[in-house]
Amino acid sequence: MQRFHRLFSVAVLAFAAAAAGAQTRASGAPALGELDRIYPDLDALYMDLHRSPELSKQEANTAAKMAARLKALGFEVTSGVGGHGVVGILRNGGGPTVMLRTDLDGLPVEEKTGLPYASKATAVNAAGEKVSVMHACGHDIHMTSWIGAATLLAGAKDRWRGTLMMVGQPAEEGGAGALSMLKDGLFTRFPKPDFAFAIHDNADAPSGKVVWTSGFALANVDAVDVTIFGKGGHGAYPHKTVDPIVIAARAVVALQTIVGRENDPLDPAVVTVGSFHGGTKHNIIPDEVKLQLTVRSYKDDVRKRLLAAIERIIQAEAAAAGAPKPPEIKVSEGTPATYNDPALTKRLASVLAGALGKQNIEEVRPVMGGEDFSEYGRAGVPAAIFWVGAVEPKKYEAAKAAGTALPSLHSPLFAPDRER
């Protein structure tokens, strides 16, 4: 079997098995043999999507392609939900409503894979800058597998009962798409699902593998922008200034005590200062310094304590140094933590183990990345997201043995291994 075929087989089956497995009277997922028939079409779709990515909130053409595919399969399709969101409904008698979600957007990354179908797309971002665009996070894999699952399930209606709800979500990368769709009536204009499921490709797992986590799977993500004010002047006369670089440096060091000394060690948390900018020249003390932080946690109470501690420490350092005015601290809430419903997750893992073999299903630890798929769970729907390996197994084993890193998600070199 082709390597890429194996990746798609597992990804499609994960979607299809999840939809069938979430139903109590289903007779199982559609036969994988049917995938061989539709694979050439999915392969062509994948290459088309990979060549033509669109930025978050600009996914008009991508959404139109997804909508057209669903309509051709007999789904009732609504476009323009929460931006460029697409909703497809396929009713098949009494039974639960199962939602399968894919993300649609690409990233502002210049592709450097050298693939013959590599993206050369460009776009103008929200800041008015022209940027390259790439599916560097594998959303093209998600969409292709999602269409594959829709095709298999639409052709096997004798094997399941209920309502299939296909959701093509925009703006996952900005963390805004799921909430935008919910605010636009995703769970009121359309049947509210009994279960929701998504997949994500994994650049740290071999193709053919599905990995999963029960309970917290991904983190709360918050961004903090800080401006620390001082009184600038000549570097030779620091006693006539209030140096914001020193204040900021002290604050950065003090922030490290939040996780190490204030947080319960059994509650995972991260406070990272990712950017420190101030000054223009060797001998000039600036008037201000800007910091950018990312903050990660699982529990909401931990999240609140981390953010409160950040503000307390930064304000205190500025006050202790006699800063001319308090720092400005802006918190931009990103995505809430993704919680995989334990009962649903274990049930789906069992279904996938039966379909793929127990050796290909692995439970793993949660990670500190973020995903706005979490919003659907927060809206009261039991949900689960599973990860599908995207690395050719021999390449994965070689890298593991050598201790070398493979291209990660969001890398300009990331692409699932593919063999023709």
The pLDDT assigned to 420 comes to 39
Last residue of a domain, one of 302, 318, 333: 333
Give yes or no: residues 213 and 224 share one domain: no
DSSP 133: -
Give yes or no: residues 107 and 50 share one domain: yes
Instruction: Give me the mean pLDDT over the 342-356 stretch.
Output: 91
Lowest mean pLDDT across 11-20, 70-79, 235-244, 374-383: 11-20
Query: Under a CB-based contact definition with an 8 Å cutoff, are residues 210 and 260 in contact?
Result: no
Instruction: Give me the mean pLDDT over the 166-173 stretch.
Output: 98
Query: Under a CB-based contact definition with an 8 Å cutoff, are residues 93 and 163 in contact?
Result: no
Q: Among residues 280, 276, 290, which one has the least CA distance to residue 229?
A: 290
Q: What is the CATH number of the domain that holds 257?
A: 3.30.70.360
Rounded CA-CA distance 98/288 in Å is 52
| Gyration radius of the chain's alpha carbons | 24
Q: Does residue 266 form part of some domain?
A: yes
Q: Does residue 311 form part of some domain?
A: yes
Give yes or no: residues 179 and 265 share one domain: no
Q: Which residues does 299 contact at the CB level (< 8 Å), separation at least 6? A: 267, 337
Give yes or no: residues 379 and 326 share one domain: no
The pLDDT assigned to 27 comes to 52
The pLDDT assigned to 333 comes to 79
Burial class of residue 420, CB neighbours in 10 A (0-12, 13-18, 19+): exposed
Query: Under a CB-based contact definition with an 8 Å cutoff, are residues 86 and 147 in contact?
Result: no
| pLDDT over threshold 80, residue 94 | yes
Give yes or no: residues 346 and 205 share one domain: yes
Please name the residue that has the structure tokens 């630890």: 365
| pLDDT over threshold 60, residue 25 | no
Last residue of a domain, one of 314, 333, 352: 333
Residue 272 lies in domain:
220-333
Report the amino acid identity of residue 51.
R
Task: At 277, list the tokens.
Answer: 């900018």
Instruction: Give me the mean pLDDT over the 124-149 stretch.
Output: 96
Lowest mean pLDDT across 62-71, 111-120, 344-353: 344-353
Give yes or no: residues 81 and 150 share one domain: yes
What are residue 362's DSSP bridge partners?
A: 211
| pLDDT over threshold 70, residue 418 | no
Q: What is the pLDDT of residues 310-326, one digit of tens each?
A: 999 999 999 999 999 99
Cite the active site residues.
105, 172
Burial 12-51 (b: 16+ CB within 10 A, else e): bbbbbbbbbbbbeebeebbebebbeebbeebbebbbebbb
Q: Does residue 108 form part of some domain?
A: yes
DSSP 231: B
Q: Does residue 408 form part of some domain?
A: no
The pLDDT assigned to 16 comes to 79
Q: Does residue 418 form part of some domain?
A: no
Give yes or no: residues 208 and 255 share one domain: no
Give yes or no: residues 295 and 372 share one domain: no
- Report the range out of 17-26, 239-248, 395-404 with the highest average pLDDT: 239-248
Q: What is the pLDDT of residues 173-199, one digit of tens each?
A: 989 999 999 999 999 999 999 999 999
Q: Does residue 25 form part of some domain?
A: yes
Last residue of a domain, one of 333, 349, 374: 333
Instruction: Give me the mean pLDDT over the 14-32 stretch.
Output: 62
Give yes or no: residues 31 and 153 share one domain: yes
Domain tally for the chain? Answer: 2
Q: Which residues does 151 contact at the CB level (< 8 Å), separation at least 6? A: 38, 73
Give CA separation, 277 vs 100, 131, 221, 234, 244, in Å.
43, 23, 22, 18, 11
Q: What is the CATH number of the domain that holds 380?
A: 3.40.630.10
**Ramachandran region, residue 128 (left: φ > 0; alpha: ψ -120 to 50; beta: rest):** left
| pLDDT over threshold 70, residue 31 | no
Give yes or no: residues 278 and 354 share one domain: no
Rounded CA-CA distance 258/340 in Å is 27
- In this structure, the number of other CB atoms found within 10 A of the CB of residue 237 comes to 10
Q: Does residue 243 form part of some domain?
A: yes
Give yes or no: residues 313 and 374 share one domain: no
**CA atoms within a 13 Å half-sphere pointing along the CA-CB vector of 50:** 23
Give yes or no: residues 22 and 117 share one domain: yes
Q: Does residue 407 form part of some domain?
A: no
